């Protein structure tokens, strides 16, 4: 059973019976069985769940501590038949001090015991009244006998290896301090941080707690499993909501229902392979100084989990375009457009340039580039007439795109020109001996290069720069003509993928211009126009015959492949697996396989085009600039031939 770098983790919240360890053990074992039935490899319980967190001065009673030890023994014995590592909270007395501990067990054996480093002693918390912090351990660690087992390591510097994942443990308050123990544990190799917590709830505390968990997982490039106690804890002064979270690199995979009744658990699938890839790319990760040694406890193989049958995380089919959250989409579109405008205004200012030349085709890419250019000129206080837009009809230009390009230039108030490329291309065909009836690559590329030549020469004549229109998806696939539309003097769309280009144009239509005016209608029609370079003649009805996505495949798939290839380092088998989950019911597996193989082949064959790209602003986490984000050899014989 292939895990593909995933591991299933759970945060379990039993109904607590205060000062009744035997009853708590029964609740814990029932949840263990349920979570193990969901094929979880790691099951985390709350802080002091064996006794209850709110026992107060009862922690000074020998009877409670003895009962807790017996309860832990029964829980550990119950793990013998489970495929998961179970982590529970219980008190442990050693060397005349009482420690608030997390106990990790698997296969009927306690793997290690981790004491709490930082005790909560402010306001409603009184932990120092009963417990000693981990630093009070003589020598920093000890070998103890507990729950019928000998020679168990008691100490904070322990990591627990299960399958491909390495876990570290911290307890509640450890998260809230300036330098949490998880920081060094992550540098030492832990991708999973398990936090056993007893965090009470009051107004707005959950939002702050959630921000801490999200920020910590982002900062550490880790998954954070936060499990807090729930119903049953004493409400003498406090209430407990069971605020449990599973977060991976800032993205919340699962969140428990707060103030719910009864025992329950949440689980999610963490991608540890992705976390390792992100860490490897971040060269400052771990440069804080030497990390004291950790002892690695082997918890064995991960549970046999069928991720094919059920993956407990959502795979977003359109990772560049947030779905279902209008506020996030609004923020992203506004931010990206502002970044594009800032990039172009800075370039124009630095080179003392007051004119721009742009090819306007009536398609998505040139429309976005033109909108960015118009907004940049507005920021600089330059007249839009200084933008020279040129529509260059060729053999495949349709009335729809031609009319939209003309209308858009008029509505934006720029200087509009029309130069047919047909005479020049025909002369070129005659010069090189190309038969115009042969619609091959030469037929197409000659038109693209003719357009670029015209733009460059007009820019030289006018003292302006050519603003490039090509987008990130085209650069990934090499779907551009070398030294044709591949080239410009500044490419404002260089890191904007096609799926996002369409979204940005639609957003700009609705938010930057009068929604009742002609420009709004023009922009929406451009959004609805099929994507095409229009280098082949139109069909008998004068409509676009050359549709890009029929040739190279759907851009939503290629953008998906690009994102996970670049951000997660996913190989072909994992890309196919993720695509099956994301596009279930949309594309069948043969279709996904076909376009994935197309993506891989084109991406690596066309690297030479990306090795000499014009400057352009980076606006997202995925960029293929040869100067910044993607450096690769152009000569690869076998890598792209990997089969899936």
Cα dihedral value 398, 401, 405, 411, nearest 10: 120
pLDDT given at position 535 = 60
b/e per residue 64-88 (b: at least 16 CB within 10 A): bbebbbbbbbbbbbbbeebbbbbbb
Residue 644 predicted with pLDDT over 60: no
pLDDT in tens, 320-347: 997 878 888 899 999 999 999 999 999 9
CA 556 to chain centroid, in Å, comes to 16
Rounded to whole angstroms, how far apart are CA atoms 480 and 498? Answer: 13
Rounded to whole angstroms, how far apart are CA atoms 269 and 315? Answer: 11
Residue 389 predicted with pLDDT over 70: yes
How much is the pTM?
0.92
pLDDT given at position 397 = 85
Contact 595, 468 (CB under 8 A): no
What sign does the CA torsion over 55, 60, 65, 66 have?
negative
Structure tokens belonging to residue 400: 């729809």
Mean pLDDT computed over 490-496: 97
Structure tokens belonging to residue 93: 């007395």
pLDDT in tens, 178-217: 999 999 999 999 999 999 999 889 888 899 999 999 999 9
643: confidence class by pLDDT, cuts 50, 70, 90: low
Residue with tokens 């003498």: 236
Mean pLDDT computed over 543-550: 66
Catalytic sites, residue numbers: 47, 116, 172
First to last CA, the chain: 16
pLDDT given at position 335 = 95
pLDDT in tens, 557-582: 999 999 999 999 999 999 999 999 99
538: confidence class by pLDDT, cuts 50, 70, 90: low
- Total Cβ atoms within 10 A of residue 605: 14
Helices and strands, number each (H, E), in the chain: 19, 20
Close Cβ partners of 342 (under 8 Å, ≥ 6 residues apart): 617
pLDDT given at position 288 = 62
Helix (H, G, I), strand (E, B) or coil at 124: coil
b/e per residue 224-237 (b: at least 16 CB within 10 A): bbbbbbbbbbeeee
Residue 638 predicted with pLDDT over 70: no
Rounded to whole angstroms, how far apart are CA atoms 495 and 375? Answer: 18
Tell which residue, 639, 608, 599, has the closest CA to residue 626.
Answer: 608
pLDDT given at position 622 = 94
The CATH fold of domain 326-641:
Rossmann fold (3.40.50)
For domain 6-298, the CATH architecture is: 4-Layer Sandwich (3.60)
pLDDT given at position 177 = 94
pLDDT in tens, 255-303: 999 999 999 999 999 999 999 999 998 878 876 667 788 999 999 999 9
Rounded to whole angstroms, how far apart are CA atoms 204 and 245? Answer: 16
Strand stretches in 497-612, DSSP E: none
Between 512 and 195, residue with greater pLDDT: 195
Strand stretches in 488-532, DSSP E: 490-491
Rounded to whole angstroms, how far apart are CA atoms 534 and 545? Answer: 8
Range name among 46-60, 282-296, 507-521 with the lowest pLDDT average: 282-296
pLDDT given at position 546 = 62
pLDDT given at position 86 = 98
Q: Listing from the earlier edge strand, what are the strands of the sheet with 109-115? A: 141-146, 149-155, 109-115, 97-106, 85-94, 42-44, 6-13, 264-271
Residue 31 predicted with pLDDT over 60: yes
The residue ranges of every structural domain in the chain are: 6-298, 326-641
Alpha helices in 306-396 (DSSP H): 326-350, 364-380
Q: What is the DSSP string of 210-279?
A: HHHHHHHHHHHT-EEEEEE--TTS--SS-------EEEETTEEEEEPPTT--S-EEEEEEEEHHHHHHHH
414: confidence class by pLDDT, cuts 50, 70, 90: very high
pLDDT given at position 310 = 94
What are the beta bridge partners of residue 224?
A: 193, 247
Tell which residue, 453, 401, 402, has the closest CA to residue 427.
Answer: 453
Range name among 172-176, 531-535, 617-621 with the lowest pLDDT average: 531-535
Structure tokens belonging to residue 307: 């991720």
b/e per residue 449-474 (b: at least 16 CB within 10 A): bbbbebbbebbeeeebbbbbbbbbbb
Residue with tokens 């492949």: 561
pLDDT given at position 489 = 97
42: confidence class by pLDDT, cuts 50, 70, 90: very high
Share of the chain above pLDDT 70, in %: 96
Rounded to whole angstroms, how far apart are CA atoms 56 and 47? Answer: 14
Cα distances from 548 to residues 389, 402, 487, 544, in angstroms, run 24, 18, 20, 10
Strand stretches in 25-134, DSSP E: 42-44, 85-94, 97-106, 109-115
pLDDT given at position 586 = 96
Share of the chain above pLDDT 90, in %: 84
Rounded to whole angstroms, how far apart are CA atoms 595 and 587? Answer: 10
pLDDT given at position 326 = 85
pLDDT given at position 140 = 84
Contact 9, 41 (CB under 8 A): yes
Mean pLDDT computed over 512-522: 85
Residue 34 predicted with pLDDT over 90: yes
Helix (H, G, I), strand (E, B) or coil at 514: coil
Q: What is the mean pLDDT of the chain?
A: 93
Rounded to whole angstroms, how far apart are CA atoms 93 and 109? Answer: 19
pLDDT given at position 284 = 81
pLDDT given at position 549 = 73
Residue 222 predicted with pLDDT over 90: yes
């Amino acid at each position: 059973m292939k895990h593909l770098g995933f591991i299933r983790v759970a945060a379990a919240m039993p109904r607590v019976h205060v000062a009744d360890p035997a009853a708590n053990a029964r609740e814990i074992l029932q949840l263990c069985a349920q979570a193990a039935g969901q094929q979880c490899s790691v099951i985390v319980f709350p802080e002091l769940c064996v006794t209850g967190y709110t026992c107060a001065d009862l922690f000074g009673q020998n009877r409670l501590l003895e009962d807790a030890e017996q309860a832990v023994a029964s829980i550990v014995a119950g793990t013998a038949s489970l495929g998961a590592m179970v982590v529970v909270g219980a008190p442990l007395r050693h060397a005349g001090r009482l420690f608030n501990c997390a106990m990790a067990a698997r296969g009927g054996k306690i793997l290690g015991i981790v004491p709490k480093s930082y005790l909560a002693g402010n306001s409603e918390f009184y932990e120092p009244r009963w417990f000693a912090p981990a630093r009070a351990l003589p020598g920093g660690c000890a070998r103890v006998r507990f729950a019928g087992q000998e020679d168990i390591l008691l100490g904070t510097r322990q990591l627990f290896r299960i399958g491909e994942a390495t876990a570290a443990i911290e307890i509640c308050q450890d998260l809230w301090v300036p330098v949490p123990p998880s920081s060094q544990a992550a540098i030492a190799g832990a991708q999973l941080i398990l936090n056993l917590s007893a965090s009470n709830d009051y107004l707005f505390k959950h939002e702050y707690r959630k921000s801490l968990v999200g920020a910590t997982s982002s900062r550490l490039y880790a998954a954070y499993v936060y499990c807090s106690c729930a119903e049953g804890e004493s409400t003498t002064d406090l209430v407990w909501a069971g605020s449990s979270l599973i977060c991976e690199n800032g993205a919340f995979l699962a969140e428990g229902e707060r103030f719910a009744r009864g025992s329950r658990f949440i689980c999610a699938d963490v991608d540890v392979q992705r976390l390792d890839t992100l860490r490897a790319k971040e060269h400052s990760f771990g440069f804080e100084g030497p990390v004291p040694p950790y002892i690695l406890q082997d918890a064995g193989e991960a549970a046999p989990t069928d991720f094919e049958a059920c993956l407990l995380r959502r795979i977003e089919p359109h990772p560049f375009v947030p779905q279902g959250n209008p506020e996030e989409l609004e923020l992203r579109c506004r931010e990206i457009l502002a970044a594009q405008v800032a990039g172009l205004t800075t370039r124009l200012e630095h080179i003392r340039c007051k004119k721009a030349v742009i090819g306007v085709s009536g398609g998505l890419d040139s429309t976005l580039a033109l909108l960015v250019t118009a907004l940049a000129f507005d920021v600089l206080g330059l007249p839009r007439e200084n933008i020279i837009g040129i529509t260059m009809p060729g053999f495949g230009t349709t009335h729809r795109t031609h009319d939209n390009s003309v209308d858009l230039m008029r509505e934006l108030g720029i200087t509009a020109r029309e130069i047919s490329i047909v005479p020049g291309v025909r002369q070129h065909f005659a010069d090189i001996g190309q038969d115009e009836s042969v619609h091959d690559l030469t037929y197409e590329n000659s038109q693209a290069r003719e357009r670029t030549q015209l733009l460059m020469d007009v820019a030289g004549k006018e003292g302006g720069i050519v603003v490039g229109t090509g987008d990130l998806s085209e650069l990934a696939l090499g779907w551009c003509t070398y030294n044709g539309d591949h080239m410009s003097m500044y490419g404002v769309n260089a890191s904007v993928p096609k799926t996002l280009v369409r979204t940005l144009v639609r957003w700009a239509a609705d938010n930057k211009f009068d929604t009742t005016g002609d420009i709004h209608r023009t922009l929406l029609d451009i959004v609805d126009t099929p994507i095409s370079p229009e280098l082949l003649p139109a069909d008998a009805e004068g409509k676009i015959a050359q549709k890009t996505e029929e040739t190279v495949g759907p851009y939503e798939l290629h953008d998906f492949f690009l994102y996970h290839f670049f951000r997660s380092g996913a190989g072909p088998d994992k890309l196919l697996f993720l695509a099956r989950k994301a596009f279930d019911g949309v594309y069948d597996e043969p279709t996904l396989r076909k376009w994935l193989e197309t993506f891989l082949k084109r991406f690596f064959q066309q690297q030479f085009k990306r090795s000499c790209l014009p400057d352009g602003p980076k606006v997202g986490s995925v960029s293929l600039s040869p100067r910044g984000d993607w450096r690769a050899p152009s000569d690869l014989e076998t890598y792209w031939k990997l089969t899936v």
